[in-house]
Amino acid sequence: MRKVRHGFTLIELLVVIAIIAILIGLLLPAVQKVREAAARMKCSNNLKQLGLAFHNYNDSQNRLPPATGPSGCCWGTWQVVILPYIEQDNVFKLYVNWGGNDRTGPRYSGSPNTINVCNKRFNILTCPSDTPNTPFGGLTNHNYAVNLGNTGYGQQSVLNGVRFGGAPFLLNGKSTTIQGISDGTSNTMLAAEVLQGQGRDLRGFTWWGDASGFSAYLPPNTTTPDVIYSTYYCNNQPQINLPCIGTPTASNPSRMSARSRHTGGVQVLFGDGGVRLVPNSINIAVWQALSTSMGGESYTSY
Protein backbone atom coordinates (compact mmCIF):
# COMPACT_ATOMS: atom_id res chain seq x y z
CA MET A 1 0.00 0.00 0.00
CA ARG A 2 1.29 3.43 -0.88
CA LYS A 3 1.54 6.03 1.87
CA VAL A 4 -0.25 9.28 1.20
CA ARG A 5 2.40 12.09 1.33
CA HIS A 6 1.03 15.10 3.08
CA GLY A 7 2.79 18.49 2.63
CA PHE A 8 2.43 21.77 4.59
CA THR A 9 0.12 24.42 3.26
CA LEU A 10 1.46 27.94 2.79
CA ILE A 11 -0.67 29.23 5.70
CA GLU A 12 0.75 26.62 8.08
CA LEU A 13 4.29 27.56 7.12
CA LEU A 14 3.62 31.27 7.57
CA VAL A 15 2.10 30.67 11.00
CA VAL A 16 5.12 28.65 12.09
CA ILE A 17 7.50 31.33 10.84
CA ALA A 18 5.51 34.05 12.61
CA ILE A 19 5.63 32.12 15.89
CA ILE A 20 9.37 31.63 15.58
CA ALA A 21 9.84 35.35 14.84
CA ILE A 22 7.88 36.31 17.95
CA LEU A 23 9.92 33.92 20.08
CA ILE A 24 13.21 35.39 18.77
CA GLY A 25 11.85 38.87 19.41
CA LEU A 26 11.19 37.89 23.01
CA LEU A 27 14.59 36.27 23.39
CA LEU A 28 16.81 39.05 22.04
CA PRO A 29 16.30 41.62 24.82
CA ALA A 30 16.69 38.83 27.36
CA VAL A 31 20.06 37.96 25.84
CA GLN A 32 21.13 41.61 26.10
CA LYS A 33 20.12 41.63 29.79
CA VAL A 34 22.01 38.42 30.42
CA ARG A 35 25.09 39.96 28.81
CA GLU A 36 24.96 42.98 31.14
CA ALA A 37 24.32 40.73 34.14
CA ALA A 38 27.35 38.62 33.21
CA ALA A 39 29.48 41.74 32.76
CA ARG A 40 28.36 43.03 36.15
CA MET A 41 29.30 39.73 37.78
CA LYS A 42 32.76 39.98 36.24
CA CYS A 43 33.12 43.53 37.58
CA SER A 44 32.05 42.45 41.05
CA ASN A 45 34.43 39.48 40.94
CA ASN A 46 37.29 41.84 40.03
CA LEU A 47 36.47 43.92 43.10
CA LYS A 48 36.49 40.78 45.28
CA GLN A 49 39.94 39.88 43.96
CA LEU A 50 41.10 43.41 44.76
CA GLY A 51 39.69 42.99 48.26
CA LEU A 52 41.75 39.83 48.77
CA ALA A 53 44.79 41.64 47.38
CA PHE A 54 44.37 44.55 49.82
CA HIS A 55 44.00 42.15 52.74
CA ASN A 56 47.06 40.16 51.68
CA TYR A 57 49.04 43.38 51.26
CA ASN A 58 47.92 44.49 54.71
CA ASP A 59 48.97 41.13 56.20
CA SER A 60 52.44 41.10 54.67
CA GLN A 61 53.29 44.83 54.90
CA ASN A 62 51.30 45.60 58.07
CA ARG A 63 49.54 48.45 56.28
CA LEU A 64 47.40 49.19 53.26
CA PRO A 65 49.13 50.54 50.17
CA PRO A 66 49.21 54.35 49.86
CA ALA A 67 47.04 55.85 47.12
CA THR A 68 50.07 57.59 45.63
CA GLY A 69 53.82 57.26 46.21
CA PRO A 70 55.85 59.58 48.49
CA SER A 71 56.50 62.13 45.74
CA GLY A 72 52.86 62.43 44.77
CA CYS A 73 51.23 62.24 41.38
CA CYS A 74 53.64 60.72 38.96
CA TRP A 75 55.85 57.92 40.12
CA GLY A 76 53.25 55.23 40.60
CA THR A 77 50.09 54.63 42.58
CA TRP A 78 48.52 51.79 44.60
CA GLN A 79 47.82 50.08 41.28
CA VAL A 80 51.53 49.33 40.86
CA VAL A 81 52.29 48.01 44.34
CA ILE A 82 49.19 45.80 44.35
CA LEU A 83 50.37 43.95 41.22
CA PRO A 84 52.29 41.20 43.12
CA TYR A 85 49.08 40.45 45.03
CA ILE A 86 47.00 39.92 41.89
CA GLU A 87 49.54 37.47 40.45
CA GLN A 88 51.31 40.05 38.29
CA ASP A 89 54.62 39.98 40.16
CA ASN A 90 56.59 39.65 36.92
CA VAL A 91 55.13 42.92 35.65
CA PHE A 92 55.71 44.61 39.00
CA LYS A 93 59.42 43.71 38.89
CA LEU A 94 59.75 45.64 35.62
CA TYR A 95 58.43 48.90 37.12
CA VAL A 96 61.32 51.21 37.98
CA ASN A 97 61.50 54.12 40.43
CA TRP A 98 58.17 53.60 42.25
CA GLY A 99 57.67 56.50 44.62
CA GLY A 100 60.32 58.62 42.89
CA ASN A 101 62.14 59.66 46.03
CA ASP A 102 64.43 61.99 44.11
CA ARG A 103 61.58 63.27 41.93
CA THR A 104 63.88 63.03 38.92
CA GLY A 105 63.88 59.42 37.72
CA PRO A 106 61.46 57.91 35.22
CA ARG A 107 57.80 58.63 35.84
CA TYR A 108 54.83 56.35 35.18
CA SER A 109 54.69 57.98 31.76
CA GLY A 110 58.40 57.56 30.97
CA SER A 111 60.41 54.71 29.52
CA PRO A 112 60.71 51.86 30.50
CA ASN A 113 57.55 52.02 32.64
CA THR A 114 55.28 52.74 29.70
CA ILE A 115 56.00 49.68 27.60
CA ASN A 116 56.63 47.34 30.51
CA VAL A 117 53.69 48.26 32.73
CA CYS A 118 51.47 51.27 32.10
CA ASN A 119 50.66 50.53 28.47
CA LYS A 120 49.31 47.12 29.46
CA ARG A 121 45.65 46.46 30.07
CA PHE A 122 44.91 44.33 33.11
CA ASN A 123 41.67 42.39 32.75
CA ILE A 124 41.30 42.11 36.50
CA LEU A 125 41.22 45.93 36.70
CA THR A 126 38.85 46.37 33.75
CA CYS A 127 35.05 46.16 33.90
CA PRO A 128 33.63 44.74 30.65
CA SER A 129 30.49 46.90 30.92
CA ASP A 130 32.61 49.96 30.12
CA THR A 131 34.46 51.10 26.98
CA PRO A 132 38.26 50.75 27.27
CA ASN A 133 40.31 53.87 26.54
CA THR A 134 43.94 54.95 26.21
CA PRO A 135 44.23 58.73 26.63
CA PHE A 136 47.94 59.21 25.78
CA GLY A 137 50.43 57.20 23.77
CA GLY A 138 48.95 53.85 24.72
CA LEU A 139 48.77 54.47 28.50
CA THR A 140 45.70 52.63 29.75
CA ASN A 141 42.64 53.67 31.76
CA HIS A 142 41.12 51.21 34.21
CA ASN A 143 37.89 50.86 36.19
CA TYR A 144 38.69 50.73 39.90
CA ALA A 145 39.70 53.56 42.20
CA VAL A 146 40.47 53.54 45.90
CA ASN A 147 38.49 55.45 48.52
CA LEU A 148 39.95 58.88 49.33
CA GLY A 149 37.22 59.88 51.77
CA ASN A 150 34.41 62.39 51.90
CA THR A 151 36.06 65.61 50.66
CA GLY A 152 38.00 66.28 47.43
CA TYR A 153 41.02 64.61 45.87
CA GLY A 154 43.35 66.66 48.10
CA GLN A 155 41.62 65.23 51.21
CA GLN A 156 40.84 68.75 52.46
CA SER A 157 40.23 68.72 56.24
CA VAL A 158 37.02 70.74 55.73
CA LEU A 159 35.26 71.27 52.41
CA ASN A 160 32.32 73.71 52.50
CA GLY A 161 31.61 72.58 56.06
CA VAL A 162 31.95 68.83 55.39
CA ARG A 163 34.60 67.52 57.80
CA PHE A 164 37.11 64.91 56.55
CA GLY A 165 36.55 61.76 58.59
CA GLY A 166 39.66 59.77 57.65
CA ALA A 167 40.02 57.45 54.68
CA PRO A 168 41.57 54.01 54.23
CA PHE A 169 43.86 55.37 51.50
CA LEU A 170 46.08 58.43 51.87
CA LEU A 171 48.23 60.43 49.47
CA ASN A 172 51.97 61.03 49.19
CA GLY A 173 53.18 57.68 50.50
CA LYS A 174 51.17 57.80 53.73
CA SER A 175 49.09 54.77 54.55
CA THR A 176 46.66 53.33 57.09
CA THR A 177 45.88 49.83 58.28
CA ILE A 178 42.74 47.71 58.10
CA GLN A 179 42.92 47.39 61.88
CA GLY A 180 42.77 51.19 62.10
CA ILE A 181 39.35 51.45 60.44
CA SER A 182 37.49 52.32 63.61
CA ASP A 183 34.12 52.85 61.88
CA GLY A 184 34.11 49.12 61.17
CA THR A 185 35.35 47.39 58.04
CA SER A 186 31.84 46.50 56.86
CA ASN A 187 30.88 50.19 57.05
CA THR A 188 33.89 51.54 55.20
CA MET A 189 34.56 51.43 51.48
CA LEU A 190 37.96 50.40 50.17
CA ALA A 191 37.40 50.81 46.45
CA ALA A 192 34.64 51.44 43.94
CA GLU A 193 34.00 51.42 40.24
CA VAL A 194 34.84 54.44 38.12
CA LEU A 195 34.27 54.99 34.42
CA GLN A 196 37.00 55.40 31.86
CA GLY A 197 36.96 58.86 30.36
CA GLN A 198 36.92 58.87 26.58
CA GLY A 199 39.46 60.54 24.31
CA ARG A 200 42.08 62.37 26.39
CA ASP A 201 39.82 62.47 29.45
CA LEU A 202 41.66 61.36 32.59
CA ARG A 203 38.94 59.63 34.55
CA GLY A 204 39.99 56.06 35.26
CA PHE A 205 43.63 56.99 34.56
CA THR A 206 44.66 55.19 37.72
CA TRP A 207 48.41 55.11 36.98
CA TRP A 208 48.35 58.81 37.83
CA GLY A 209 47.68 60.38 41.25
CA ASP A 210 44.53 62.45 40.74
CA ALA A 211 42.64 59.57 39.15
CA SER A 212 43.92 56.85 41.49
CA GLY A 213 41.10 57.41 43.96
CA PHE A 214 37.48 58.49 44.02
CA SER A 215 35.86 61.10 46.22
CA ALA A 216 32.62 60.31 48.05
CA TYR A 217 31.75 64.00 48.43
CA LEU A 218 28.99 63.45 45.86
CA PRO A 219 26.82 60.32 45.46
CA PRO A 220 27.49 57.55 42.91
CA ASN A 221 26.74 58.36 39.24
CA THR A 222 26.05 61.98 40.18
CA THR A 223 24.92 64.35 37.44
CA THR A 224 27.14 67.02 39.01
CA PRO A 225 30.37 67.22 36.97
CA ASP A 226 33.65 65.72 38.12
CA VAL A 227 36.46 68.27 38.44
CA ILE A 228 39.71 67.70 36.52
CA TYR A 229 42.61 70.13 36.90
CA SER A 230 42.74 71.28 33.29
CA THR A 231 40.12 71.76 30.60
CA TYR A 232 42.51 70.05 28.20
CA TYR A 233 41.96 66.73 29.99
CA CYS A 234 38.18 67.09 30.44
CA ASN A 235 35.96 65.55 27.77
CA ASN A 236 32.53 66.58 29.06
CA GLN A 237 29.96 63.93 28.03
CA PRO A 238 26.99 64.17 30.41
CA GLN A 239 24.85 62.07 28.06
CA ILE A 240 27.00 58.99 28.79
CA ASN A 241 27.40 59.62 32.54
CA LEU A 242 30.75 61.42 32.15
CA PRO A 243 30.12 65.08 33.04
CA CYS A 244 33.19 67.13 33.94
CA ILE A 245 34.59 70.64 34.23
CA GLY A 246 38.24 71.65 34.00
CA THR A 247 38.34 74.60 36.39
CA PRO A 248 38.80 73.52 40.01
CA THR A 249 38.29 76.17 42.71
CA ALA A 250 38.79 76.19 46.48
CA SER A 251 35.16 75.29 47.14
CA ASN A 252 34.87 72.94 44.16
CA PRO A 253 38.30 71.27 44.03
CA SER A 254 39.57 68.36 41.91
CA ARG A 255 37.56 65.23 42.57
CA MET A 256 36.22 62.26 40.66
CA SER A 257 33.08 60.41 41.70
CA ALA A 258 32.29 56.72 41.60
CA ARG A 259 30.49 55.89 38.34
CA SER A 260 29.40 52.77 36.49
CA ARG A 261 27.44 51.51 33.50
CA HIS A 262 25.24 49.25 35.67
CA THR A 263 21.58 50.07 36.19
CA GLY A 264 20.86 51.91 39.40
CA GLY A 265 24.18 52.14 41.20
CA VAL A 266 27.88 51.35 41.49
CA GLN A 267 29.54 48.29 42.95
CA VAL A 268 31.63 48.96 46.00
CA LEU A 269 34.28 46.91 47.80
CA PHE A 270 34.01 47.22 51.57
CA GLY A 271 36.76 46.69 54.12
CA ASP A 272 35.43 43.28 55.13
CA GLY A 273 35.91 42.05 51.54
CA GLY A 274 32.22 42.24 50.67
CA VAL A 275 31.10 43.70 47.36
CA ARG A 276 27.71 45.41 47.24
CA LEU A 277 25.78 47.51 44.77
CA VAL A 278 25.21 50.95 46.32
CA PRO A 279 22.17 52.66 44.78
CA ASN A 280 22.41 56.09 43.14
CA SER A 281 19.57 57.24 45.37
CA ILE A 282 21.60 56.82 48.57
CA ASN A 283 21.39 59.73 51.01
CA ILE A 284 24.54 61.83 50.47
CA ALA A 285 25.32 61.97 54.19
CA VAL A 286 25.19 58.15 54.42
CA TRP A 287 27.40 57.77 51.33
CA GLN A 288 29.92 60.19 52.85
CA ALA A 289 29.76 58.25 56.12
CA LEU A 290 30.52 54.99 54.29
CA SER A 291 33.66 56.61 52.88
CA THR A 292 35.13 57.74 56.19
CA SER A 293 37.26 55.30 58.15
CA MET A 294 37.20 57.17 61.46
CA GLY A 295 34.23 59.51 61.16
CA GLY A 296 32.25 58.04 64.04
CA GLU A 297 28.91 58.34 62.22
CA SER A 298 26.02 56.19 63.39
CA TYR A 299 24.19 55.04 60.29
CA THR A 300 22.97 51.47 60.31
CA SER A 301 21.66 51.00 56.78
CA TYR A 302 21.30 52.61 53.40
Partner 1 sequence: MKALRPSLLLPLCLGLALGCSGSSDGRVAVSGTVVFKNNPLDQGTIQFFTKENNELAAAASISEGKFHLPAAQGLKPGTYRIVLSSGEPGTKAPEDAAPGETGPPAKERIPKEYNVDSLKKPVYRDVVAGQKNQLEFNIP
Instruction: Report the nearest approach of partner 1 to the CB of residue 252 (Å).
Output: 4
Instruction: Report the nearest approach of partner 1 to the CB of residue 92 (Å).
Output: 20
Number of residues that bind partner 1 (CB under 8 A): 43
Does the footprint of partner 1 cover residue 203 (CB under 8 A)?
no
The site map against partner 1 for 226-265 (x = CB under 8 A) is ---xxxxx---------x-xxxxxxxxxx-----------
Task: Find the binder of partner 1 among 218, 266, 269, 278 (CB under 8 A).
Answer: 218
Does the footprint of partner 1 cover residue 225 (CB under 8 A)?
yes
Q: Confirm if 254 and 148 have CB atoms less than 8 A apart.
A: no
Query: Which among 30-38, 56-64, 134-142, 182-190 is the span making contact with partner 1, rule CB under 8 A?
Result: 134-142
Does the footprint of partner 1 cover residue 279 (CB under 8 A)?
no
Q: Between residues 84 and 243, which has the closer beta carbon with respect to partner 1? A: 243
Task: Find the binder of partner 1 among 222, 273, 299, 302 (CB under 8 A).
Answer: 222
Task: Find the binder of partner 1 among 54, 78, 169, 205 (CB under 8 A).
Answer: 205
What's the chain look like in SS3?
Answer: CCCCCCCCCHHHHHHHHHHHHHHHHHHHHHHHHHHHHHHHHHHHHHHHHHHHHHHHHHHHHCCCCCCEECCEEEEEEHHHHCHHHHCCHHHHHHCCCCCCCCCCCCCCCCCCHHHHHHCCCCHHHCCCCCCCCCCECCECCCCEEEECCCCCCCCCCEECCEECCCCCECCCCCECCCCCCCCCHHHCEEEEECCCCCCCCCCCCCCCHHHHEECCCCCCCCCCCEECCCHHHCCCEHHHCECEECCCECCECCECCCCCCCCCEEEEEECCCCEEEEECCCCHHHHHHHHCCCCCCCCCCC
Instruction: Report the nearest approach of partner 1 to the CB of residue 240 (Å).
Output: 16
Does the footprint of partner 1 cover residue 123 (CB under 8 A)?
no
Nearest-angstrom CA–CA distance, 252 and 64 = 28
Does the footprint of partner 1 cover residue 95 (CB under 8 A)?
no
Task: Find the binder of partner 1 among 54, 85, 98, 208 (CB under 8 A).
Answer: 208
Task: Find the binder of partner 1 among 81, 202, 266, 268 (CB under 8 A).
Answer: 202
State the residues that interact with partner 1 by CB under 8 A: 72-74, 107-109, 135-137, 139, 160-162, 202, 205, 208, 210, 217-218, 222-225, 229-233, 243, 245-254, 281, 284-285, 288
